[in-house]
Structure 1
Amino acid sequence: MPHSPKMPLALGLPLALLAGLSMPVQGRINGALGARLDDGVAAAVVSFGTGLVLMVLVCLLVPSGRAGLRRVLPAVRAKKFPWWFLLAGVSGAFLVMSQGITVSLIGIALFTVAVVTGQSISGLLVDRLGFGPAGRKRVSPLRALSAVLTVAAVAWAVSPKFSAGGDAAAWLVPVLLPLAAGFLQSFQQAFNGTQSMHYGSPLPATLVNFIVGTVLLCIAWLAKVALAGPANPLPAEWWYYLGGPIGCAFIAFAAVLVRSLGVLLTGLGMIAGQVLGSLLLDLFLPAPGTVITTATVLGTLLTLAAVVLATLPWPRSSFAMLGRRR
């Protein structure tokens, strides 16, 4: 079975942050495409479809991609991992679908908090259960605290965008969708990381993700067309179609990083990048209705501090010495 060397923390964490920075850009592009088509599900199909075409080309042209594809069926037949790890792409498709369904109801601020909350909780669980390629990882008090601090920091950063007079009953049920989507994100990263370890490359796992996600979204889109009719014509501007390639890079990075950093730390690094990227977009390319306050900036900085906290070593030896003295 091929193995690649583990990445040092000093390199892996900045890469996780960089991958997270790409997500607000992808969200802005896909959101604009959804508005142009007047169909969020159609925009998700376009995003996943372009990503699928790109991954097919990459896997066929890159030697490691071709070699990895040849290892997929043997790995599944040899039960190197449970076959349902191949369904990790359902998580990405569900996240995009939940965005299209709920953002107009609860707003992007509450959507972000719900996703981050779900991802932070599941990151602890997935590391503890050992679903990722790094196996079981001890969840230290510092890492648990950093997960809680991340949720609080993101909520603080987006708090200026909350509707002041909103009715809680109107968003309580819709918020469960992004919460579940965020919870599934850590499992997706773990499943992809395990597959990549056995394939010797993240490319086949990324391709399988886009195949599964595209099929699921096409089924949802066909059902929507049958009920509500087709979307508007596709736009001619090239930048509307960058969401898929950005998603390819994000999934591939996550599949590589979870082996070295673990699911929780990879997720926290990407969350920090996502919040920082959102702040930079709001500063330099603000969307209509953008609000930036002191809470926005300080909440973003607190998110970065939470990630740093998760990287600190837990002094287990000192506690062991105290136990022996007693």
Structure 2
Amino acid sequence: MPQSSRPAIRSTSRPLLTGLLLAVANGTLLPVQGRINSALGAKLDDGVAAAVVSFTTGLVLIAVIGLALPKGRAGLRRIVPAVKERSFPRFYVVAGGIGALYVIAQSFTIGLLGVALFTVAVITGQTVSGLFVDRLGIGPGGKRSITGVRILGSILTIAAVAWAVSPRLGAAADVGSLLFPILLPVVAGCLMSFQQAMNGTATVHYGSPIAATLVNFVAGTVILWIAWLIKASLLGPGHALPAEWWYYVGGPMGCVFIGLAALLVRSLGVLVTGLGMIAGQLLGSLALDLILPAPGTLVAFPTILGTLLTLFAIIVATLPWPKGALSPAVPPSAIRASPGGRTAVKGR
């Protein structure tokens, strides 16, 4: 019997490791995309317009890919039947609005909070909600218990991120007065876990992550265009679009990020997928700050150690710990024999 159990352990551990590495790699796209969209926003003097450009270019790209590939076309043909047949709750089709909310939260709160507090707020919301989204079984991977190990991994992740960005927290002199603005990125982070779960479920029924990604970009693009039109009618449009090509690769990066995340939540679950992408986000940010630092960038020792602690937290949350690993050990003296030859713990 022991011999038959070994292949099963290898077959489950390898996909877990591969999926986790993909989640980390996927997370590294976020800081690069954020740097590009931030530069575009500064060029246009309009953060909402930059988000509109990013979502619109992503929508055009994923539509072209979906129409060009046979599997993409097959997935697109399944969208309307899946929605009509209520294969999943119909509101899942507006999951892309959560991505729009995240971008809007960036536009309206980073100026008040700074990047550090914004990052801590989003990741705190995403990590905590990931536990409950898995517990509710909203994602395609089904229900996953809230174990002590998963809670410990989540707490370590939040602490590690706070430590990693702590050198930049000094810019926020009065954190107490920023409590209300912090709520918006916390809510956006909480909803991101639901977005990943909804996209993963939709991907199963569409049969293709391309279709789920396209639906996401349609919803997000419509919402952002409405927000920009309202803003432009009140404050006027920003500057003209730049000619440099690299300003427009943020949208394609979003296509990869959403599509890959939708695939990974099926095997890893929402929490572990989110934790892996958080680790990738920190690693990508650290690499950017070291290789292509922005003006005023600070790479301090706590930033490096906090990033390493985040990786440790991912290991804690994802390793196949034995059941009851965090339970207190039972001393041999507390074990007694029962009449049937079985053992029991004294006092239980």
TM-score between both structures, scaled by the size of structure 1: 0.95
Q: Which residue of 2 aligns with 1:101?
A: 108
Give the counterpart of 1:246 among 242, 245, 253: 253
In structure 1, the partner of 2:136 is: 129
Determine whether 1:138 maps to 2:153. Answer: no
Q: In the aligned structure 1, how far is the partner of 2:193 from the partner of 2:324?
A: 30
Contact conserved, 1:140 with 1:314, CA < 8 A, in 2? no
Query: Are 1:163 and 2:131 counterparts?
Result: no
Could you say which residue in structure 1 is the equivalent of 2:228? 221
Can you list the C-alpha shifts for 1:46-90, whole angstroms capped at 9, x where unaligned?
000000000110110011110011111211222211001111101
- Deviation (angstroms), 1:304: 0.6
Q: CA deviation at 1:263?
A: 0.3
Asked if the contact 1:142–1:312 (Cα under 8 Å) also holds between the matched residues in 2, the reply is: no
Query: SS of the counterpart of 1:325?
Result: strand
Q: Which moved more, 1:249-258 or 1:173-182?
A: 173-182
In the alignment, structure 2 segments of 5+ residues that lack a partner are 1-11, 336-342
After TM superposition, the structure 1 = structure 2 runs for residues 237-316 of structure 1, keeping only pairs within 5 Å, are 237-316=244-323
> Given the alignment of the two structures, is residue 72 of structure 1 paired with residue 79 of structure 2, yes or no?
yes
Q: Is the CA contact 1:41–1:97 (under 8 Å) kept in the aligned structure 2?
A: yes
Partner of 1:3: none
- 1:204 corresponds to 2:234: no
Distance 2:162 2:93 in 1: 33
Contact 1:55–1:203 (8 Å) recurs in 2: yes
Distance 2:240 2:188 in 1: 29
Distance 1:237 1:187, change over 3 A: same
| One-letter code aligned to 2:185 | P
SS at match of 2:208: coil
- Aligned residue type for 1:25: V
**Alpha-carbon shift at residue 139 of structure 1 (Å):** 2.0
Question: 1:124 is matched by which residue type in structure 2?
Answer: L
Q: Distance in 2 between matches of 1:283 and 1:292?
A: 7
- Kindly indicate whether residue 55 of structure 2 is the aligned counterpart of residue 36 of structure 1: no
Shift of 1:317: 7.0
Other-structure match for 1:87? 94
Corresponding residue for 1:325?
Answer: 344
When the two structures are aligned, how many residues end up with a matched partner?
322
1:156 partner SS? helix
| Structure 1 residue identity aligned to 2:307 | T
Q: Which has the larger radius of gyration?
A: 2
Quote how far apart the aligned CAs of 1:229 are.
0.4
TM-score in terms of structure 2 length: 0.89
How far is the alpha carbon of 1:168 from its aligned partner? 2.3
Distance in 2 between the 1:210 and 1:325 partners?
58
* Equivalent pair of 1:115/1:183 in contact (CA under 8 Å): yes
Counterpart selection for 1:46 from 38, 43, 53:
53
The 8 Å contact of residues 114 and 171 in structure 2, kept in 1 or not, is answered as no
The equivalent residue for 2:17 is 10
Structure-2 separation of matches of 1:297 and 1:118: 23
- Give the CA RMSD over aligned residues: 1.9
Is contact 1:19-1:270 (8 Å) kept? yes
Partner Cα separation in structure 2 for residue 168 and residue 157 of structure 1: 18
Shift in Å, 1:10: 1.7
Cα distance in 1, alignment partners of residues 284 and 344 from structure 2 = 49
The code of the aligned residue for 1:71 comes to R
Gaps of 5+ in 1: 1-5
Q: CA 1:170–1:289 in structure 2 vs 1: closer, same or farther (change >3 Å)?
A: farther
Of all paired residues, the percent bearing the same amino acid is 61
> Within 2, Cα distance between the matches of 1:215 and 1:325?
63
8 Å CA contact retained: 2:114, 2:172? no
Q: Distance in 1 between matches of 2:266 and 2:279?
A: 19
